[in-house]
Structure 1
Amino acid sequence: MTRYSRLMDGLYLLCMGIAAVALLIMVTVIPIGIFARYVLNGALAWPEPVAIVCMIIFTFIGAPVGFRAGTHICVSMVTDRLSPGAQRLMLRLCDLLMVATCLIIFQASYSLCAAMWIQPLASLPSVTYGEMYLPIPIGALFTLLFVIERLLNGDQSQRPVVVLGGTH
Protein backbone atom coordinates (compact mmCIF):
# COMPACT_ATOMS: atom_id res chain seq x y z
CA MET A 1 0.00 0.00 0.00
CA THR A 2 1.38 3.38 -0.98
CA ARG A 3 1.60 6.48 1.17
CA TYR A 4 -0.92 8.14 -1.15
CA SER A 5 -3.44 5.37 -0.48
CA ARG A 6 -2.92 5.75 3.28
CA LEU A 7 -3.64 9.48 2.92
CA MET A 8 -6.73 8.65 0.87
CA ASP A 9 -7.84 6.24 3.61
CA GLY A 10 -7.86 9.16 6.03
CA LEU A 11 -9.68 11.38 3.55
CA TYR A 12 -12.19 8.59 2.90
CA LEU A 13 -12.96 8.22 6.62
CA LEU A 14 -13.13 12.00 7.04
CA CYS A 15 -15.60 12.33 4.15
CA MET A 16 -17.68 9.47 5.53
CA GLY A 17 -17.79 11.09 8.97
CA ILE A 18 -18.69 14.55 7.63
CA ALA A 19 -21.43 13.09 5.42
CA ALA A 20 -22.82 11.09 8.34
CA VAL A 21 -22.93 14.13 10.64
CA ALA A 22 -24.58 16.22 7.91
CA LEU A 23 -27.22 13.52 7.39
CA LEU A 24 -27.81 13.27 11.14
CA ILE A 25 -28.27 17.03 11.47
CA MET A 26 -30.57 17.11 8.45
CA VAL A 27 -32.87 14.38 9.77
CA THR A 28 -32.94 16.13 13.14
CA VAL A 29 -33.79 19.67 12.04
CA ILE A 30 -36.54 18.71 9.58
CA PRO A 31 -38.80 17.22 12.30
CA ILE A 32 -38.04 20.25 14.49
CA GLY A 33 -39.36 22.51 11.73
CA ILE A 34 -42.42 20.32 11.22
CA PHE A 35 -43.12 20.20 14.96
CA ALA A 36 -42.78 23.97 15.30
CA ARG A 37 -45.04 24.66 12.34
CA TYR A 38 -47.86 22.17 12.93
CA VAL A 39 -47.83 21.61 16.69
CA LEU A 40 -46.65 24.97 18.03
CA ASN A 41 -48.22 26.99 15.19
CA GLY A 42 -45.01 28.99 14.81
CA ALA A 43 -42.82 28.38 11.78
CA LEU A 44 -39.09 28.61 12.34
CA ALA A 45 -36.96 30.23 9.63
CA TRP A 46 -33.78 28.21 10.13
CA PRO A 47 -34.62 24.46 9.74
CA GLU A 48 -35.09 24.52 5.96
CA PRO A 49 -31.85 26.34 5.05
CA VAL A 50 -29.91 24.23 7.58
CA ALA A 51 -31.38 21.08 6.00
CA ILE A 52 -30.46 22.34 2.51
CA VAL A 53 -26.87 23.07 3.57
CA CYS A 54 -26.66 19.62 5.17
CA MET A 55 -28.03 18.00 2.01
CA ILE A 56 -25.41 19.77 -0.10
CA ILE A 57 -22.68 18.62 2.30
CA PHE A 58 -24.04 15.06 2.42
CA THR A 59 -24.30 14.85 -1.36
CA PHE A 60 -21.02 16.39 -2.44
CA ILE A 61 -18.80 15.18 0.40
CA GLY A 62 -20.46 11.76 0.42
CA ALA A 63 -20.10 11.24 -3.35
CA PRO A 64 -16.33 10.65 -3.17
CA VAL A 65 -16.99 7.93 -0.58
CA GLY A 66 -19.36 6.17 -2.97
CA PHE A 67 -16.89 6.52 -5.83
CA ARG A 68 -13.98 5.02 -3.89
CA ALA A 69 -16.14 2.22 -2.50
CA GLY A 70 -17.43 1.39 -5.98
CA THR A 71 -21.06 1.82 -4.94
CA HIS A 72 -21.89 4.58 -7.42
CA ILE A 73 -24.35 3.93 -10.23
CA CYS A 74 -22.73 1.86 -12.94
CA VAL A 75 -24.35 0.63 -16.12
CA SER A 76 -22.16 -2.19 -17.39
CA MET A 77 -24.44 -3.91 -19.87
CA VAL A 78 -22.08 -3.19 -22.79
CA THR A 79 -18.73 -3.43 -21.00
CA ASP A 80 -19.57 -6.81 -19.45
CA ARG A 81 -19.67 -8.24 -22.98
CA LEU A 82 -16.17 -6.98 -23.86
CA SER A 83 -12.92 -8.88 -23.53
CA PRO A 84 -10.90 -8.34 -20.31
CA GLY A 85 -8.41 -6.13 -22.17
CA ALA A 86 -11.17 -3.98 -23.62
CA GLN A 87 -12.79 -3.76 -20.18
CA ARG A 88 -9.52 -2.43 -18.70
CA LEU A 89 -9.28 0.09 -21.54
CA MET A 90 -12.87 1.26 -20.92
CA LEU A 91 -12.15 1.57 -17.19
CA ARG A 92 -9.16 3.82 -17.93
CA LEU A 93 -11.26 5.85 -20.36
CA CYS A 94 -13.96 6.27 -17.68
CA ASP A 95 -11.34 7.33 -15.16
CA LEU A 96 -9.97 9.95 -17.57
CA LEU A 97 -13.51 11.19 -18.23
CA MET A 98 -13.99 11.39 -14.45
CA VAL A 99 -10.85 13.54 -14.21
CA ALA A 100 -12.31 15.89 -16.82
CA THR A 101 -15.70 15.92 -15.09
CA CYS A 102 -14.15 16.69 -11.70
CA LEU A 103 -12.09 19.53 -13.16
CA ILE A 104 -15.13 21.04 -14.92
CA ILE A 105 -17.30 20.77 -11.80
CA PHE A 106 -14.51 22.21 -9.65
CA GLN A 107 -13.96 25.19 -11.96
CA ALA A 108 -17.67 25.97 -12.36
CA SER A 109 -18.51 25.56 -8.68
CA TYR A 110 -15.47 27.53 -7.57
CA SER A 111 -16.61 30.39 -9.81
CA LEU A 112 -20.10 30.12 -8.33
CA CYS A 113 -18.73 30.26 -4.78
CA ALA A 114 -16.54 33.25 -5.60
CA ALA A 115 -19.45 35.12 -7.20
CA MET A 116 -21.81 34.42 -4.30
CA TRP A 117 -19.30 34.66 -1.43
CA ILE A 118 -20.72 37.83 0.15
CA GLN A 119 -24.44 37.22 -0.57
CA PRO A 120 -26.05 36.11 2.73
CA LEU A 121 -28.98 33.71 2.92
CA ALA A 122 -32.12 35.63 3.88
CA SER A 123 -33.27 33.12 6.48
CA LEU A 124 -29.77 32.36 7.80
CA PRO A 125 -27.79 35.62 7.49
CA SER A 126 -24.65 34.27 9.17
CA VAL A 127 -24.10 31.99 6.15
CA THR A 128 -23.46 33.22 2.62
CA TYR A 129 -24.46 31.45 -0.59
CA GLY A 130 -20.77 31.07 -1.41
CA GLU A 131 -20.21 29.22 1.86
CA MET A 132 -23.31 27.13 1.29
CA TYR A 133 -22.02 25.98 -2.12
CA LEU A 134 -18.44 25.40 -0.90
CA PRO A 135 -18.91 21.60 -0.49
CA ILE A 136 -19.37 21.32 -4.27
CA PRO A 137 -15.80 22.27 -5.29
CA ILE A 138 -14.42 20.49 -2.23
CA GLY A 139 -16.29 17.31 -3.17
CA ALA A 140 -15.09 17.58 -6.77
CA LEU A 141 -11.52 17.93 -5.53
CA PHE A 142 -11.86 14.94 -3.19
CA THR A 143 -13.38 12.85 -5.99
CA LEU A 144 -10.49 13.86 -8.25
CA LEU A 145 -8.02 12.69 -5.60
CA PHE A 146 -9.78 9.30 -5.45
CA VAL A 147 -9.79 9.03 -9.26
CA ILE A 148 -6.05 9.73 -9.29
CA GLU A 149 -5.61 7.04 -6.65
CA ARG A 150 -7.51 4.57 -8.82
CA LEU A 151 -5.42 5.49 -11.85
CA LEU A 152 -2.19 4.99 -9.87
CA ASN A 153 -3.08 2.04 -7.62
CA GLY A 154 -6.14 0.39 -9.15
CA ASP A 155 -9.54 -0.27 -7.60
CA GLN A 156 -9.66 0.35 -3.85
CA SER A 157 -13.17 -0.94 -3.14
CA GLN A 158 -12.01 -4.24 -1.59
CA ARG A 159 -9.47 -2.75 0.84
CA PRO A 160 -10.29 -3.32 4.54
CA VAL A 161 -10.79 0.38 5.35
CA VAL A 162 -13.26 0.73 2.49
CA VAL A 163 -15.14 -2.47 3.32
CA LEU A 164 -15.17 -1.25 6.96
CA GLY A 165 -17.61 1.45 5.85
CA GLY A 166 -20.22 -1.25 5.29
CA THR A 167 -20.97 -0.26 1.70
CA HIS A 168 -20.51 -3.80 0.32
Structure 2
Amino acid sequence: MQKTMETVALWTGRLAHLALWAAGTGLVLMTALIAAQVFWRHVLNDSIVWTEPASVMIMGWFIFLGAAVGIREGYHLSFDVVLYVLPHGAKMVLFSLSDIAVAGFGCGMIWFGWQLAAKTAGNMLPSLGISGAYDFAPIVAGGLLIALFSAERVFRRAAGLPTARFGDDAEAA
Protein backbone atom coordinates (compact mmCIF):
# COMPACT_ATOMS: atom_id res chain seq x y z
CA MET A 1 0.00 0.00 0.00
CA GLN A 2 2.90 2.35 0.73
CA LYS A 3 4.23 2.19 -2.84
CA THR A 4 0.74 2.82 -4.26
CA MET A 5 0.23 5.80 -1.97
CA GLU A 6 3.62 7.23 -2.96
CA THR A 7 2.47 7.11 -6.60
CA VAL A 8 -0.91 8.64 -5.71
CA ALA A 9 0.86 11.34 -3.70
CA LEU A 10 3.07 12.13 -6.68
CA TRP A 11 0.06 12.65 -8.96
CA THR A 12 -2.02 14.55 -6.43
CA GLY A 13 1.03 16.69 -5.71
CA ARG A 14 1.22 17.55 -9.39
CA LEU A 15 -2.51 18.30 -9.40
CA ALA A 16 -2.09 20.52 -6.34
CA HIS A 17 0.84 22.29 -8.01
CA LEU A 18 -1.31 22.91 -11.11
CA ALA A 19 -4.21 24.15 -8.97
CA LEU A 20 -1.89 26.51 -7.09
CA TRP A 21 -0.53 27.93 -10.34
CA ALA A 22 -4.08 28.35 -11.67
CA ALA A 23 -5.07 30.13 -8.43
CA GLY A 24 -2.06 32.43 -8.63
CA THR A 25 -2.72 33.18 -12.28
CA GLY A 26 -6.36 33.93 -11.40
CA LEU A 27 -5.28 36.32 -8.67
CA VAL A 28 -3.02 38.21 -11.08
CA LEU A 29 -5.71 38.23 -13.79
CA MET A 30 -8.37 39.49 -11.38
CA THR A 31 -6.04 42.25 -10.21
CA ALA A 32 -5.35 43.27 -13.81
CA LEU A 33 -9.08 43.35 -14.63
CA ILE A 34 -9.88 45.50 -11.59
CA ALA A 35 -6.98 47.84 -12.42
CA ALA A 36 -8.25 48.14 -16.01
CA GLN A 37 -11.76 48.89 -14.74
CA VAL A 38 -10.46 51.62 -12.41
CA PHE A 39 -8.37 53.13 -15.22
CA TRP A 40 -11.28 53.08 -17.69
CA ARG A 41 -13.72 54.50 -15.17
CA HIS A 42 -11.59 57.25 -13.63
CA VAL A 43 -9.18 58.19 -16.41
CA LEU A 44 -11.16 57.50 -19.58
CA ASN A 45 -14.54 58.26 -17.99
CA ASP A 46 -15.97 55.04 -19.43
CA SER A 47 -16.63 51.57 -18.07
CA ILE A 48 -15.92 47.99 -19.08
CA VAL A 49 -19.13 46.22 -18.10
CA TRP A 50 -17.80 42.67 -17.94
CA THR A 51 -14.77 43.16 -15.66
CA GLU A 52 -16.60 43.07 -12.33
CA PRO A 53 -18.56 39.83 -12.88
CA ALA A 54 -15.51 38.23 -14.51
CA SER A 55 -13.35 39.25 -11.55
CA VAL A 56 -15.83 37.82 -9.06
CA MET A 57 -15.94 34.55 -11.00
CA ILE A 58 -12.14 34.39 -11.16
CA MET A 59 -11.99 35.14 -7.43
CA GLY A 60 -14.19 32.11 -6.75
CA TRP A 61 -11.74 29.95 -8.67
CA PHE A 62 -8.61 31.10 -6.91
CA ILE A 63 -10.24 30.95 -3.48
CA PHE A 64 -11.48 27.38 -3.83
CA LEU A 65 -8.40 26.08 -5.65
CA GLY A 66 -6.12 27.70 -3.09
CA ALA A 67 -8.20 26.34 -0.20
CA ALA A 68 -7.97 22.82 -1.60
CA VAL A 69 -4.19 23.06 -1.89
CA GLY A 70 -4.03 24.43 1.65
CA ILE A 71 -5.94 21.41 2.87
CA ARG A 72 -3.59 19.04 1.07
CA GLU A 73 -0.56 20.74 2.58
CA GLY A 74 -2.06 20.91 6.08
CA TYR A 75 -2.46 24.69 6.22
CA HIS A 76 -6.20 24.73 6.89
CA LEU A 77 -7.51 26.17 10.12
CA SER A 78 -7.05 23.90 13.11
CA PHE A 79 -6.79 24.03 16.87
CA ASP A 80 -3.59 22.17 17.72
CA VAL A 81 -3.00 23.02 21.40
CA VAL A 82 -4.25 19.65 22.68
CA LEU A 83 -2.11 17.82 20.13
CA TYR A 84 1.07 18.88 21.92
CA VAL A 85 0.23 16.67 24.92
CA LEU A 86 -1.39 13.67 23.23
CA PRO A 87 0.46 10.48 22.38
CA HIS A 88 1.26 9.84 18.71
CA GLY A 89 -1.55 7.30 18.17
CA ALA A 90 -4.21 9.65 19.50
CA LYS A 91 -2.88 12.43 17.26
CA MET A 92 -3.19 10.17 14.23
CA VAL A 93 -6.80 9.33 15.10
CA LEU A 94 -7.69 13.01 15.53
CA PHE A 95 -5.88 13.98 12.32
CA SER A 96 -7.79 11.28 10.44
CA LEU A 97 -11.13 12.33 11.93
CA SER A 98 -10.39 15.91 10.94
CA ASP A 99 -9.52 14.88 7.39
CA ILE A 100 -12.66 12.74 7.11
CA ALA A 101 -14.78 15.70 8.28
CA VAL A 102 -13.07 17.97 5.73
CA ALA A 103 -13.65 15.37 2.99
CA GLY A 104 -17.34 15.32 3.98
CA PHE A 105 -17.40 19.11 3.66
CA GLY A 106 -15.84 18.77 0.19
CA CYS A 107 -18.54 16.27 -0.79
CA GLY A 108 -21.17 18.74 0.43
CA MET A 109 -19.58 21.41 -1.73
CA ILE A 110 -19.82 19.08 -4.74
CA TRP A 111 -23.44 18.13 -4.05
CA PHE A 112 -24.83 21.57 -3.24
CA GLY A 113 -22.60 23.39 -5.74
CA TRP A 114 -23.88 21.07 -8.47
CA GLN A 115 -27.48 21.72 -7.42
CA LEU A 116 -26.92 25.48 -7.53
CA ALA A 117 -25.28 25.19 -10.94
CA ALA A 118 -28.17 23.08 -12.25
CA LYS A 119 -30.74 25.59 -10.98
CA THR A 120 -28.97 28.54 -12.61
CA ALA A 121 -27.93 26.82 -15.84
CA GLY A 122 -30.79 28.43 -17.74
CA ASN A 123 -29.91 31.95 -16.62
CA MET A 124 -27.54 34.04 -18.67
CA LEU A 125 -25.05 36.41 -17.10
CA PRO A 126 -25.83 39.51 -19.17
CA SER A 127 -22.42 41.16 -19.16
CA LEU A 128 -20.53 37.93 -19.88
CA GLY A 129 -23.06 36.13 -22.07
CA ILE A 130 -22.54 32.77 -20.37
CA SER A 131 -24.70 30.49 -18.26
CA GLY A 132 -25.18 31.31 -14.58
CA ALA A 133 -23.98 27.77 -13.81
CA TYR A 134 -20.41 28.96 -14.34
CA ASP A 135 -20.69 31.00 -11.14
CA PHE A 136 -20.90 27.74 -9.18
CA ALA A 137 -18.31 25.70 -11.08
CA PRO A 138 -15.51 26.75 -8.69
CA ILE A 139 -17.49 25.36 -5.74
CA VAL A 140 -17.83 21.98 -7.43
CA ALA A 141 -14.20 21.88 -8.60
CA GLY A 142 -12.92 23.02 -5.20
CA GLY A 143 -15.10 20.42 -3.48
CA LEU A 144 -13.71 17.69 -5.73
CA LEU A 145 -10.14 18.68 -4.90
CA ILE A 146 -10.89 19.06 -1.18
CA ALA A 147 -12.47 15.60 -1.02
CA LEU A 148 -9.62 14.07 -3.05
CA PHE A 149 -6.84 15.72 -1.05
CA SER A 150 -8.48 14.90 2.30
CA ALA A 151 -8.94 11.26 1.32
CA GLU A 152 -5.31 11.18 0.17
CA ARG A 153 -4.20 12.44 3.59
CA VAL A 154 -6.15 9.68 5.36
CA PHE A 155 -4.74 6.97 3.08
CA ARG A 156 -1.20 8.34 3.29
CA ARG A 157 -1.45 8.28 7.06
CA ALA A 158 -2.76 4.69 6.98
CA ALA A 159 0.22 3.73 4.79
CA GLY A 160 2.64 5.32 7.26
CA LEU A 161 3.59 8.22 5.02
CA PRO A 162 3.87 11.84 6.24
CA THR A 163 1.13 14.30 5.35
CA ALA A 164 2.96 17.62 5.83
CA ARG A 165 1.24 18.50 9.09
CA PHE A 166 2.66 19.17 12.52
CA GLY A 167 3.31 15.92 14.38
CA ASP A 168 1.71 13.85 11.63
CA ASP A 169 4.48 11.57 10.43
CA ALA A 170 5.51 7.98 10.82
CA GLU A 171 8.81 8.85 12.54
CA ALA A 172 7.15 10.67 15.44
CA ALA A 173 6.09 7.39 17.09
TM-score range, shorter chain: 0.7 to 0.9
3-state DSSP of counterpart to 1:32: helix
In structure 1, what is the equivalent of residue 168 of structure 2? Answer: none
Name stretches of at least 5 consecutive residues in structure 2 with no aligned partner.
Answer: 166-173
TM-score by length of structure 1 reads 0.86
Distance in 1, matches of 2:104 and 2:70, equals 18
Distance in 1, matches of 2:42 and 2:109, equals 39
Deviations, residues 102-157 of structure 1 (Å, cap 9, x unaligned): 111110001111111121112211x2220121011111111111111111113433
Conserved in 1, the CA contact under 8 Å of 2:26 and 2:62? yes
**What is the Cα deviation at residue 5 of structure 1?**
1.3
AA at the equivalent of 1:152: F
Equivalent of 2:144 in 141, 144, 154:
141
Name stretches of at least 5 consecutive residues in structure 1 with no aligned partner.
Answer: 159-168
3-state DSSP of counterpart to 2:125: coil
Distance in 2, matches of 1:16 and 1:104, equals 22
In structure 2, what is the equivalent of residue 161 of structure 1? Answer: none
1:101 is the counterpart of 2:105: yes
RMSD: 1.6
Count of matched residue positions in the alignment of Structure 1 and Structure 2: 157
1:156 is the counterpart of 2:167: no
Structural mapping, 1:1-168, within 5 Å:
2-125=6-129, 127-154=130-157, 155-157=162-164
**What is the Cα deviation at residue 28 of structure 1?**
0.4
Distance in 2, matches of 1:78 and 1:129, equals 44
**Structure 1 vs Structure 2: percent identity of aligned residues?**
27
AA at the equivalent of 1:47: T
